[in-house]
Structures are given as structure tokens and as C-alpha cells.
């Protein structure tokens, strides 16, 4: 009850969701990963194994750095996460195709990896459509596999146990894809944060 003369407290309006511009430092770091690709191609085409490895290492480190920059500048966004996933697919897909084309990696596993990667991309697109908003499907297992993919290119450029690492990658990826497919296509989608 409110006594005569007292006033009710003003209702608190719900906080509006924070809008983050896509032109932010974290996305700039993500985009800068593309700059390593021409250098990588040049190194592979001219037989510079070590430099090609360092290019891919740089690309991988920038991938780790963008998350840190997003936290420092508080510019984490759904678009940034999606852009990061697109950059992963582009950089690592390009790297795998180049090392296979120059005969530095076995073709069959590379085709398998790229095919499974394409299937995963389609699943993600369906997931976004199901969610009805720009969102990135978060998978702890896939995050680890993406790191392994970056390493795969480094193994090829460095000539480091290439057959061993490439052939073992396929069953791991197939297992993760089977698990994630169920989550993306069947399981309920969590509410937006």
C-alpha cells in the first residue's frame, strides 16, 4: 500500500542491448589474418618451408589475439564471432588447398577435411536460420578442432609427421561433426544473451 502523499518509485526501464559497431579493433585483428595468406602462398610457391610455417603461425596467433582484443575493448559481438568463424574457414581452407596443390600434404585427407568443413558450414547456416538471428553456434569440441586444423597446415609446411597427423584428423572431425549436427539441427536453440 502507498500512503497518501507518497509517490511510487519510477519504473526502471530495461537496459537496451549494447550495440557494437562491426568496425571495431577485434574485427580489425580478425581481418588482418587475411594479410598472411598472400605471404603464405608466396612462401609455399617458392619452397620456403620455414617461412610458410611462420606465416601460418602468425595467422593462428592473430586468431587467439582477436578474442583478447575483444575483451580489452569490450567489443564482443555476435557478428564478430561469426566473422571469426568465417576467417577460420577461409584462412585454413586456403592453407589446406595450397599445401595439397603443391604436394606438401596428402590430397585425400585434405579433400575429406574440406568436405566435412563445408558440411559444417551448411549446418551452421541452417542453425542461424533456425535461430532467426545472427548467431554463432558455440562448440567446445570444434574450437579445439579448429586449432588442430591450423596445426595441420604447419605440419605440411614443416614436413612434420604429415601422414600421421592428417589421417588421424579425419575420424576426430567426423565424430565432432556427428555430435554437432544433432545439436544444430535437432536440439533446442538457447535464448540470445
Partner 1 sequence: MNGPLSYNAFYAFMTITTGGVSAVWFAFDLRNLLRVRALDGGDPVIRDRKFGYSIGLVIATIGMLGSAKFWL
User: If binding is defined by CB under 8 A, does position 183 make contact with partner 1?
Assistant: yes
Asked if 172 touches partner 1 (CB under 8 A), the answer is yes
Among 39, 57, 65, 119, contact with partner 1 (rule: CB under 8 A): 57
78 neighbors 66 (Cβ within 8 angstroms)? no
Q: How many CB atoms lie within 10 A of CB 40?
A: 26
Handedness of CA 18, 21, 22, 28 (dihedral sign): negative
Residue 50 interacts with partner 1 (CB under 8 A): yes or no: yes
Mask: binding to partner 1, 9-38, rule CB under 8 A, as x and -? Answer: ------------------------------
Residues 170 and 112: their CA atoms lie apart, in Å, by 7
Segment interacting with partner 1 (CB under 8 A) among 28-36, 66-74, 109-117, 185-193: 185-193
Q: Of the candidates 113, 154, 156, 184, which one interacts with partner 1 according to CB under 8 A?
A: 154
How far apart CA 21 and CA 93 sit, in angstroms, is 27
Buried b (16+ CB within 10 A) or exposed e, 105-133: bbeebbebbbebbeebeebbeebbeebee
Among 37, 41, 49, 119, which residue interacts with partner 1 (rule: CB under 8 A)? Answer: 49
Q: By C-alpha distance, which of 117, 112, 129, 125 is closest to 90?
A: 117
Stretch that binds partner 1, among 6-14, 19-27, 46-54, 124-132 (CB under 8 A): 46-54
Q: List the one residue out of 187, 189, 155 whose CA is nearest residue 169.
A: 155
The span from the CA of 65 to the CA of 150, in Å, is 15
| Span of 5-13, 14-22, 44-52, 116-124 interacting with partner 1 by CB under 8 A | 44-52
The window from 31-39, 113-121, 124-132, 165-173 that contacts partner 1 (CB under 8 A) reads 165-173
The residues of the shown chain that bind partner 1, judged by CB under 8 A, are 47-51, 53-54, 57, 138-145, 147-148, 151, 154-155, 158, 160-161, 164-165, 168, 172, 175-176, 179, 183, 187-188, 190
Amino acid at each position: 500500500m502507498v500512503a497518501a502523499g507518497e509517490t511510487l518509485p519510477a519504473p526502471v526501464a530495461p537496459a537496451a542491448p549494447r550495440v557494437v559497431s562491426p568496425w571495431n579493433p577485434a574485427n580489425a585483428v580478425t581481418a588482418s589474418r587475411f594479410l598472411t595468406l598472400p605471404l603464405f602462398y608466396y612462401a609455399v610457391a617458392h619452397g620456403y618451408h620455414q617461412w610458410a610455417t611462420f606465416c601460418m603461425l602468425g595467422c593462428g596467433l592473430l586468431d587467439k589475439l582477436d578474442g583478447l582484443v575483444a575483451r580489452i575493448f569490450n567489443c564482443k559481438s555476435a557478428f564478430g564471432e561469426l566473422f571469426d568463424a568465417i576467417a577460420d574457414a577461409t584462412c585454413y581452407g586456403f592453407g589446406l588447398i595450397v599445401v595439397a596443390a603443391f604436394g606438401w600434404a596428402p590430397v585425400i585427407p585434405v579433400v575429406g577435411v574440406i568436405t566435412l568443413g563445408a558440411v559444417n558450414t551448411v549446418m551452421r547456416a541452417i542453425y542461424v536460420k533456425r535461430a532467426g538471428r545472427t548467431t554463432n553456434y558455440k562448440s567446445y569440441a570444434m574450437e579445439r578442432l579448429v586449432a588442430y586444423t591450423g596445426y595441420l597446415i604447419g605440419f605440411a609446411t614443416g614436413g612434420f609427421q604429415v601422414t600421421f597427423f592428417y589421417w588421424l584428423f579425419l575420424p576426430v572431425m567426423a565424430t565432432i561433426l556427428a555430435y554437432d549436427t544433432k545439436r544444430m539441427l535437432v536440439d533446442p536453440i538457447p535464448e540470445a544473451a
